[in-house]
Structure 1
Amino acid sequence: MTRDDFQARTGVSRETLDGFDRWRQILVETSAHTNLVARSSLDHFWERHALDSFQLMPLVSRETRLVADLGAGAGFPGIALALGFRDRGQAARVVMVDSVGKKVAFLHKVIEELGLDAEARPVRVEMLDPSEGFDLVTARAFAPLNKLLGYAEPLLKNGAEGLFFKGRQYRDELTEARKSWTVDPEVIPSQTSDGVILRIKEVERVR
């Protein structure tokens, strides 16, 4: 997939497309000395990272104002969402959380250079305060579902909706998670892989 293919699939503006491209360039430059993503995936940025992350946008309510991206890494999907919100004129802020300093430093650079309504916090995800009023919580390649629900539960209980990327083994993760949690996600097929996106609105710990 090329830059133009990505634009054709998403319909983003030329300015937004340039933002994605600059993010890609910074990622390539940084990856020369810092391991942020698998080097082999950089050649497939537009599909493996950009489109994979951006496919969340049609699933996100236009009422969303505050997003928590857990284990944000190189900004998938957090940076993509921030670019998407700006593209559709939505006043939403993305809070990206990662405990790894080099990843947060990278995110700071991208946010500043692209002028995004976003922030990167160098803290553990359990330090997020639900009272901030998050509307949406996301995570991609962060933790097994059982563990992820433990991190996300305080935000979900406070009214946030969860959109979580999972791979082809998601059924196994769901089976394992249901030993500890009562959860009934909407399963949305991924546009870019044989994985899925799990939309979760309610979760209860099994008594």
Structure 2
Amino acid sequence: MNHERTYGAENFQADTGVSRETLERFVIWRRLLSEWSAHTNLVGRATLDDFWFRHALDSWQLPDLAPAGANRWADIGAGAGFPGLAIAFGLADRAVPNARVTLIESIGKKAAFLRAVLAETGLTSHAEVLAERVETLDGLPPFDVVTARAVAPLEKLLGLMAPFVENGAIALIPKGARHAEELTAARKSWNFEASLHPSITSDEAAIIRIERLTRVR
């Protein structure tokens, strides 16, 4: 379905109930994404045209699946900010106390883009950008939730997320139509508890919630 013509900012606000201030942050993000995409590979042009449904709304659903009071989030391979920036906007909109999202992005140009969005939307107090590879990170504080979108197959992604989950986080992972196959493949290398939550943007997609993650011996 071509949501570009049927789903826009007004639809997004109606479906999410965001404040005008939060909607304006998304508008700024959309504008900067368009400007930066002219010289930096952030998202494909076709998906940029479907920003409000495919990216904004899809990312917005994650905080509702987190444990009550979850305020420390890590987004691995944050890229253009999906879902990390949307989560930061959402936590601010919900006035979650002491909310902080750590956006982990190793590509310098993408990290610079994320910082530009945070600066222009006035949310540097709610999020930080780490321009490093997640595999090299050390000494991070505990997180409540770790997430990643379109970064790697689940089996590989769990290897990146394991240090966060071992330190108390749950994982919330948006996946597409092949999520069941990815779960089956991942269980060959990992033990974990998983629950599936239907995506609000696709009948075939799901958000996988993972806890108690350990490598198969």
Q: Same fold (TM over 0.5)?
A: yes
Secondary structure of the structure 1 residue equivalent to 2:73: strand
Work out the CA distance in 2 between the residues paired with 1:181 and 1:15.
42
Which residue number corresponds to residue 3 of structure 2?
none
Secondary structure of the structure 1 residue equivalent to 2:103: strand
Paired residue for 1:198, among 202, 208, 214? 208
Query: How far 1:103 sits from its partner (Å)?
Result: 0.5
Paired AA for residue 87 in structure 1: D
Secondary structure of the structure 2 residue equivalent to 1:201: strand
The alignment's C-alpha RMSD in Å is 1.1
Q: Deviations over 1:103-152 (max 9, x none)?
A: 10100100111121111111011233465111110000011111111111
Shift in alpha-carbon separation, 1:105–1:131, aligned structure 2, 3 A:
closer
Which residue number corresponds to residue 145 of structure 2?
136
Paired residue for 1:113, among 88, 108, 120? 120
Paired AA for residue 113 in structure 1: E
Pairing of 1:10-89 with structure 2 (within 5 A):
10-89=16-95
Query: How far 1:33 sits from its partner (Å)?
Result: 1.5
Corresponding residue pairs, total: 207
Residues 145 and 173 in structure 1, CA contact (< 8 A), matched pair in contact too: yes
Which residue number corresponds to residue 158 of structure 2?
149
Query: How far 1:61 sits from its partner (Å)?
Result: 3.1
Paired AA for residue 197 in structure 1: I
Shift in alpha-carbon separation, 1:99–1:131, aligned structure 2, 3 A:
closer
Secondary structure of the structure 1 residue equivalent to 2:79: coil
Q: TM-score, normalised on structure 1?
A: 0.96
User: Where is the helix percentage greater, Structure 1 or Structure 2?
Assistant: 1
Which residue number corresponds to residue 169 of structure 2?
160
Residues 114 and 129 in structure 2, CA contact (< 8 A), matched pair in contact too: yes
Work out the CA distance in 2 between the residues paired with 1:123 and 1:108.
14
Work out the CA distance in 2 between the residues paired with 1:201 and 1:184.
5
